[in-house]
Structure 1
Amino acid sequence: MRARAFRAVSRTAVALGVAGALVAVAAPVHAAGKGWELDALSVPAAHDLSEGDGITVAVIDTGIRTNHPVLAGRATEGPDFLSENDKKESWYGGHGTSMASNVLDVAPKAKVLGLRAIRDREDPDYQTWEQSLANPNPQSAHALRNAIRYAADSGARVISLSLGTENAFTPYDEEEAKAIQYALAKGVVVIASAGNDGDGENLVAYPVGYPGVIGVAASTPSGGRADFSTVHSYVDVAAPGVDIWGADIKSKGRVSEQGSSQAGALTAGVTALILAKYPKLAPRQVGDLLQRTASHPQRHDPKTGYGVVDAAKALRAAGKVKPAPYVMPVNAKGAGAHFGPGDDGTPRRVGQPLDVLLLVFAGVFGLFAAGMIIGGLLLLRSGRRARRRLASPPVAGMPPRQW
């Protein structure tokens, strides 16, 4: 299954399978921290407790320009799981570099490990989901699952996935689900963006839809859902996703972007803050902390989950949680036995809302079937009437029917 970077797009762009980041005028490098997103996440207050020291966040994306001034030497790159040699291309790592900067804006003393598993849209070899189905290269088809396992084995404590598929017939990939469970079982918190199809067909997306993944929607300055953010029951929390300052590979500075990609990366940064201070917390415990300290912890909704993440509140609450061993058992098949204390591996919320296209197809087929049934009943009824007429005695003065 091929994933793609999540970016905010219009309805028309979704229908055509074409997307582009929405950007404003480039800003100088020193603009970091001047955006609204850090205050909305209470990051300045959280920095009194943690800045992410000693935590590695694996950003599985389109690659990273590690020499970008905004990253300031805090990012490295691992293997290219697409097995390509594109680092010298002008378009290389555009989305991934931006995501790395969002992580580091929240957790400035963390380290980012970049792992390339998808292509930038400017890449001449970029493929849509439909095209990737016919890709005979198993290295490309399995890039995401391989990158997840590599991150888990390389010391990352957080995996940031600002990518995913959005298609009415997107398959549930069992091997990707196992790779995520493998990471969770080793104590790695997996963060994934909810998707940008909320103003379109609102389709189910993966990997955010897999059990154990913390799903993040995009929010606005008012705390509500950004109109493009996908709405589903697997959304756990929300984070700023509009007018976010991210690293730009063209200007070497920053630009304003929007999407659930940014929301996911920012939440990965908050997770790094928590684990730097309390490294023994299990993935499920971190997820619970983010949820019960968010803006509306008593009320879950599929638009923003339990609300906008509050980094400072989550850190204060984490000090009251009894740490649990974060290394969970990994069975012979490489899958984890469970994700954390009190979790038997079953997601707390099962079942997703029906996708629009699937609902339409079901309705059409349902109407067709109902029409066939009604037609059959009418034919049966007319046949009975005909038999009754034939069985009736002829009327006086009229000849019998002839066949």
Structure 2
Amino acid sequence: MRYSILSRTISIQDLEIKCRQAGALNIKPRPLMKQVFCDLDPSAAEKLSRTHGIKVSPVKAVKSSQTLAPAVSALGEGLNLHDTYSELHQAYTPRLDGTGLTVALLDSGVRTTHEALVGKIILEENFSEAPTVGDIFGHGTNNAYIIAGEYNGRSGVAPGAKIMSMKALNNNGEGTDEMVVDAIERVCELVQAAIDEGLPLTDEMYPNTISISLGSEDDG
């Protein structure tokens, strides 16, 4: 069974050692989150959970609720946000439209050929078990429009922004918290790479924000 092993007091190296000592397989450390994902026998997981400072949890399923890819006329429909966005854009001088910002979108991918998103997606990576990086489900495409889409005089909240599509949900809009953590770690790596290269905050390869829109059952 796949587990998440988390500790705020034990180093990631020692946490990985304890997992190996417990008989864990397919160990995947995630240093920035101070978390290890691994396969464990349930009895071994229960024993490891009794170690002070360690939290052991089964990997959780996550999902989004939308089930169909939206038509361009329906993107953002029902939100009644366009007028609010327009007022926000015009309230500042220079115009506040997200220019110079890059948003890392953790979702079901993005349909990059969508009329409202042409030229908006600068990077695509896949952390789900889906065979392709694009969006079949539709949730990610809809959220990409809300962030930075533009079409026929209407736009999302930051039409000047760019988007990095980090596909953490499969083609049914489902994934796991492990996939989400993998995507978050990758975004952090991109931030560090931008810093190491001396890129300005406004460079499109310097992600400034992470957008995540999904949920899971409450485990208390």
Question: What corresponds to 1:74 in structure 2?
Answer: 120
Give, in whole Å, the separation in 1 of the partners of 2:136 and 2:68. 15
Give, in whole Å, the separation in 2 of the partners of 1:52 and 1:81. 26
Q: TM-score, normalised by structure 2?
A: 0.51
Question: What corresponds to 2:88 in structure 1?
Answer: 43
C-alpha displacement at 1:56, in angstroms? 0.6
Q: 1:27 to 1:92 in 2, by over 3 A?
A: closer
Question: What corresponds to 1:111 in structure 2?
Answer: 162
Q: From 208, 217, 220, give the equivalent of 1:157.
A: 208
C-alpha displacement at 1:6, in angstroms? 4.2
1:184-229 deviations in Å (ceiling 9; x for gaps): xxxxxxxxxxxxxxxxxxxxxxxxxxxxxxxxxxxxxxxxxxxxxx
Q: 1:22 to 1:47 in 2, by over 3 A?
A: farther
For structure 2, list consecutive stretches of 5 or more residues without a partner in the other structure.
Answer: 1-59, 149-155, 191-205
Q: 1:22 to 1:108 in 2, by over 3 A?
A: closer
Supply the AA of the counterpart residue of 2:104: A
Give, in whole Å, the separation in 2 of the partners of 1:32 and 1:2. 26
- Is residue 98 of structure 1 aligned with residue 157 of structure 2? no
- Is residue 5 of structure 1 aligned with residue 64 of structure 2? yes
For structure 1, list consecutive stretches of 5 or more residues without a partner in the other structure.
Answer: 8-19, 128-139, 171-403
Give, in whole Å, the separation in 2 of the partners of 1:27 and 1:61. 18
Give, in whole Å, the separation in 1 of the partners of 2:164 and 2:170. 17
Q: From 77, 87, 103, give the equivalent of 1:57.
A: 103
C-alpha displacement at 1:87, in angstroms? 4.6
Supply the AA of the counterpart residue of 2:166: L
Supply the AA of the counterpart residue of 1:101: Y
Q: 1:109 to 1:36 in 2, by over 3 A?
A: same
SS in 2 for 1:106: coil
Give, in whole Å, the separation in 1 of the partners of 2:69 and 2:103. 25
Supply the AA of the counterpart residue of 2:161: A
Supply the AA of the counterpart residue of 1:45: Q
For the Cα contact (< 8 Å) 1:6–1:162, is it kept in 2? no
Give, in whole Å, the separation in 2 of the partners of 1:101 and 1:82. 21
C-alpha displacement at 1:96, in angstroms? 0.6
Q: Which has the larger radius of gyration?
A: 1
Q: 1:107 to 1:119 in 2, by over 3 A?
A: same
For the Cα contact (< 8 Å) 1:51–1:109, is it kept in 2? yes
SS in 1 for 2:170: coil
Give, in whole Å, the separation in 2 of the partners of 1:77 and 1:28. 25
Give, in whole Å, the separation in 1 of the partners of 2:141 and 2:72. 16
SS in 2 for 1:70: helix
- What percent of counterpart residues are identical? 25
C-alpha displacement at 1:67, in angstroms? 1.7
Question: What corresponds to 2:182 in structure 1?
Answer: 146
Give, in whole Å, the separation in 2 of the partners of 1:111 and 1:72. 11
Supply the AA of the counterpart residue of 2:145: S
Question: What corresponds to 1:297 in structure 2?
Answer: none
Give 4+ residue runs of structure 1 displaced > 3 Å after superposition. 20-23, 26-29, 46-49
Give, in whole Å, the separation in 2 of the partners of 1:153 and 1:46. 35
Cα RMSD over matched residues? 3.4
Question: What corresponds to 1:343 in structure 2?
Answer: none
SS in 2 for 1:99: helix
SS in 2 for 1:145: helix
* Larger strand percent: 2
